[in-house]
Amino acid sequence: MTEKNRETGLLRARLAKRTGCNLETIRYYETIGLMPDPPRSAAGYRVYDDSHVSRLRFILRARELGFSIEEIRGLLGLVDRGTQTCAEVKDRAEAHLVEIRDKIRDLKRIQAVLAATAAQCSGEVVPDCPVLDALAY
């Protein structure tokens, strides 16, 4: 980044606004090493460029898709080293998909149990409650 770009890049608040990411989340991603340290302006402000915007959007989208921080770190590591292959990324995505499908099955089971339990509840002002009884089980 040239000195001129350092002075005209994005400050953290602008990066947050441009990506829809919370300021504290950006700080966190920097602290844990997902986001690289940006260069600083002459005044000492962190100055971000388009590569930071792209990387942050990648992280945010991966989080939306349920990838863990460590899974994202692994994907970014491949990209950063330039060693990624479609096959390796696909393997990681498919492993994540298995986890997602397992979670969906668990959530459907939880939904069925809660629906059945709630259906047993009269909803009246009485001390006995099938929902509380099921939770105490």
Classify domain 1-84 by CATH architecture.
Orthogonal Bundle (1.10)
pLDDT of residue 1: 44
User: Full-prediction pTM beyond 0.85?
Assistant: no
Amino acid letter for position 52: H
Residue pair 36/55 in contact (Cβ under 8 Å)? The answer is yes
pLDDT of 91 > 90? The answer is yes
Confidence band of 8 (pLDDT split at 50, 70, 90) = low
